[in-house]
Structure 1
């Protein structure tokens, strides 16, 4: 738990920035500074932000306030990001943040795939902080920004994705995901080309089993990055970090939402795999043996926001294969300079 006040300072610094830049690229800074703080690197937060600030844009202008009466017309409209963030900002002032999250999680969950899954990842980082610390104003505002970004970028998968024969484990199921044939275009274009995905954990009905399966999925997707990350070193990070965001949020949600959360997280991880995974894996041997703390220090020195977030997820898993995946991401990604 951060007691230095640095995370609050960083979030206040960031909340004058928009959730995206250039109309499509996500602002990763709130997620990265939360990860740095959670991993004991709060003293590096402002220095990292000084390097990242060139990627920030001013907070966008609003169009029309979102209300309980008109929200259905505004959901999924990326022009309404400021309106949605304002709506959730008001909601979180008026009601406990857990109540707001519980009401909106099932509404937003079908559209988890918008914004390349970054909105749910941002929410997961915000919730992790709120679960282990006081709900300071900057941390509550950060949750409002995450939920607002999610609502603005709400984008469901096709209703016509056919379930293929499943597998017993998450790792086997991810290996069974078939790559889409056409790989031109961005995330949304590729997402629309997915017509089938393997079924996995589809018979789960018990919330505790759903939690166990989510842990398994995050572990399998993280491990897989070490051998498949070269397919697309940035986008394949989300096959692990998106389901981990859901996993981090579960303790703040009622048990009735855990099973559908698992299904949405599996679809996200499998879809990213279908869109970006290479046809051929590689054998990866880490350049030595490192402690989790040493691996995170390497990620911080590298600086790339996706490297930091994948390493943060790898430390949640904590085994050698997960740390190898983090080291692989450092090798594959361009450093923040």
Structure 2
């Protein structure tokens, strides 16, 4: 998570190219139908060219995908404050447990500067609704990274029997705001919540860190009941993340512990359920960026986060 915007050009829509009609419509129909079926069977929303493919969205989440409006803008067809369901949970040791996954930022945020720049109340003060997030020097955006890791994390938790909810799953044009993200976890009565990010620090700053909520009691914020369980959750995630990914804790924050406490993040300040952030690495460092852009490493990141959450929920 960085508070600077990505320095890459917004993706441009592809222009369709007309080709001469060389075959009849009757011949095209069955071919198109077969092609569509094949696409549906293999479609993948994340970059997984060098690793295990992330789980595809369920039919329920696909039906909630944002649709074009009359003025050409996209708007979520589901309630903007309702967490995106992740499909039915399997029976397992975490049956009955709810996990809220918050993929940081949104790939469409850069198209909506006025929406994401408006200030919202985070308890201690007012802060921007959201940001565009960071990006690697080659232009791989944090928002794409966070969605990919989140989608890989979901089935790992579901296999343990947990019910998994998302704050957004690529089904919104922008956002949600940081206060909405916190509220979604609260209203879901999540047993654990994780916000996934990647940092945008200086080159040479390497490693991951987990952010824990400080003890805040001001305005609408009161984290006192969740400070202890959030620390337990965060320390377990940090430990499993090191073990699975072999990544070192941050060399620029946390004094080598991989754990940082902050009281300035609305997603933590306004949470009433155990919640942490994880900065999986620094997108601006070339060595970290090589990991963050690897599908195989992102799968390990999801596995490390999952094992920490499962350990916490097992107690």
Structure-2-length-normalised TM-score:
0.28
Indicate the structure with greater strand content. 2
Larger radius of gyration: 2
Bigger helix share: 1
